[in-house]
Amino acid sequence: MGNNLVLGQYYNSKSWFHALDPRTKLLSILLLMVSVFLMSNFYFLLGTFALIIILILSTRIPFGKFLRSLRAVAMLLLFTIIFQIVFSRQGEKLWEGEFKLDGLIIMIGIILFIIFSLTKKIFPKFRSIQLLLIIAFVFVMQYFKIFNFNFNFFLTDDFISYPIKIYNEGLSLAGTVILRILSLVFVSSLLTLTTKPSDLTNGIESLLKPLKKIGINVSIFAMMISIALRFIPTLINEANKILKAQASRGVDFKESKFREKITQIISLLIPMFVIAYKRAGDLAEAMEARGYVPNSERTSINELRLKLSDYTVISVMILFLSGVITILATGLYAI
């Protein structure tokens, strides 16, 4: 279980982007995100997206890794597209149609869905394909009016009927939104895939150092973050052990009722808290024994140093953002 979890999902490959200073990566990705937000022109976004894709390909990370990060926002993307296209009423009308479902087909769809929910445990692998097939089947039936009887039966009335009008403005809006979301997701996974979590915290710590002047000690927070990250696998390991120990005492999350499940979750949570506290105490003592004093000035074993490539990347990014801002401000291409 613990080994499937990808933390920080760092992917090791040797590329120029991996070799950049974490601060450079953080800053440039921040700048890139800001420019993506500022842009509203479809063609500009498309160009930026193409640039991002080139950047991604240059890191030699398999493209599937990036596509996988899309899974979390897939639903959001889908709904955004549908809503933008269907509900937008600006610009020229391109196409008009009607979305209809009559009673009989709704009935058939419901029956199919019930059969699906009863059988989905038998073929768990093909669950989503099965569901997709059912939905597609329903729409295809409606489109070709397979069950279009001539007599007037109450079920053949259209239960759902909604006019669909597609306007060009809606399409371009949908396009910009998709490009924006894709760019943001790809860019953020570009950061996490090419930077180790420890480097990332180092970078954040170094970037936020000026906050010390107003009394916030960033290094303590950075230490807390790195400890938290470090202990996630350990705690998952412990959780597995406790889970097995309780399973030997008859805890079974699959075979029990809801009321039993609550005590069973408690039987996992309390030992976990106890272990976490104990570990935290042990760690604090071990750190003190090795001379850790909070708030004191300390040097890092891997001192961050900016190289020529870092300066180049940052200046290119700053130029890019200022270019976007200039275009927006002068209104040359702004739509």
Using CB under 8 A, list all residues that contact other proteins: 3, 238, 241-242, 244-252, 255, 260, 266-267, 269-271, 274-275
**What is the nearest approach in angstroms of other proteins to the Cβ of residue 276?**
11
Please name every residue paired with 93 in a beta bridge, in sequence order, or none if there are none: 167
Nearer to other proteins, 98 or 282 (CB): 282
Nearer to other proteins, 177 or 275 (CB): 275
Nearer to other proteins, 220 or 269 (CB): 269
**What is the nearest approach in angstroms of other proteins to the Cβ of residue 250?**
3
Nearer to other proteins, 47 or 62 (CB): 62
Ramachandran category for residue 106: left, alpha or beta (phi over 0 → left; psi -120 to 50 → alpha): alpha
**What is the nearest approach in angstroms of other proteins to the Cβ of residue 267?**
5
CA atoms within 13 A on the CB side of 310: 14
- Give, in order, the Cα–Cα distances in Å from 17 to each of 34, 137, 173, 258: 20, 46, 32, 50
Nearer to other proteins, 20 or 242 (CB): 242
Task: Give the orientation angle of helix 22-38 with respect to helix 42-58, to 10 degrees.
Answer: 160
DSSP state of 304: -
Which DSSP helix (H) or strand (E) runs through 164? strand 158-167
- The residues, any chain, with a CB within 8 Å of residue 112's CB and separated by 6 or more, are 134, 137, 138
Nearer to other proteins, 69 or 246 (CB): 246
Nearer to other proteins, 127 or 261 (CB): 261
**How many Cβ atoms from other residues are within 10 Å of residue 234's Cβ?**
13
- CB 192, CB 94: distance < 8 Å: no
- The residues, any chain, with a CB within 8 Å of residue 101's CB and separated by 6 or more, are 109, 138, 142, 158, 159, 160, 161
**What is the nearest approach in angstroms of other proteins to the Cβ of residue 252?**
6
- CB 40, CB 177: distance < 8 Å: no
Residue 126's φ and ψ, nearest 5 degrees, are -100, 20
